[in-house]
């Protein structure tokens, strides 16, 4: 809901104040989300990534973009990573890991990908808002981000629109996992950067 000072034609000062307020809301909500995380569940994801032969990521919409960002960082670590749906992504198989993100855990394309991964003998890590969903039931490990789902319009869990807090949480969580893996790996940043795309 808009602050009252934006109900009329906003001035630059009012817009500045609104932006400041909204940044604080976003930062505070993500801080609160981080404090509610079950870190033991996140820790359990680390060896799954480390021991996977290959890693596949899948997510829809903005969650999918967060997973693509994570795929780039894992690639920088020297891991073999694929984004589901890209034309060069191969078949998943035993020994591989699927990182799947879905707030509801019911997104049909994500659940279908997880079903195929499990059928092929791969493991699945689900990032979701719930442990009771078709996606969670297929997962080796579930990491719960206690954020609002897209159609939760009540504003009780988050003041942000749709699934914004979940999507931000996915990005921050996966960045934290990357930072942890990088710390264990110990390769200097300059060496990791040599793997960055150079055809851009």
Out of 29, 86, 115, 167, pick the active-site residue.
Answer: 167
Q: CA-CA distance, 164 to 104, in Å (whole number)?
A: 13
Which of 161, 61, 55 shows the shortest CA–CA distance to 109? 61
Terminal Cα distance for the chain, rounded: 40
Scored b (16 or more CB within 10 A) or e, 102-136 reads: bbbbebeebbebbeebbeeebbbbbbbbbbebbbb
Active site (annotated) includes residue 167:
yes
Q: CA-CA distance, 12 to 138, in Å (whole number)?
A: 50
Judge whether 96 and 56 are in contact, CB under 8 Å. yes
Question: How buried is 1 (Cβ within 10 angstroms: 0-12 exposed, 13-18 middle, 19+ buried)?
Answer: exposed
The owner of tokens 């940043």 is 189
Judged by DSSP in three states, 7 sits in coil
Which of 51, 47, 48, 68 shows the shortest CA–CA distance to 59? 68
Active site residues: 167
């Amino acid at each position: 809901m808009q602050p009252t000072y934006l109900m009329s034609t906003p001035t630059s000062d009012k817009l500045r104040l609104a932006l400041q307020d909204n940044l604080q809301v976003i930062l505070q909500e993500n801080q609160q989300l981080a404090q509610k995380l079950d870190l033991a569940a996140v820790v359990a994801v680390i060896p799954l990534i480390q021991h996977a032969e290959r890693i596949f990521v899948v997510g829809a919409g903005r969650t999918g973009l967060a997973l693509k960002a994570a795929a780039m960082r894992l690639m920088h670590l020297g891991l073999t990573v694929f984004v589901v749906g890209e034309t060069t992504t191969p078949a998943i198989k035993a020994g591989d890991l699927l990182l799947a993100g879905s707030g509801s855990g019911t997104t049909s394309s994500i659940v279908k990908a997880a079903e195929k991964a499990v059928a092929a003998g791969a493991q699945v890590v689900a990032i979701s808002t719930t442990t009771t969903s078709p996606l969670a039931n297929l997962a080796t490990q579930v990491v719960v981000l206690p954020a609002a789902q897209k159609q939760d319009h009540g504003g009780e869990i988050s003041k942000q629109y749709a699934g914004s807090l979940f999507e931000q949480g996915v990005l921050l969580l996966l960045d934290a996992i990357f930072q942890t893996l990088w710390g264990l790996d110990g390769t200097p940043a300059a060496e990791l950067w040599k793997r960055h795309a150079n055809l851009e």
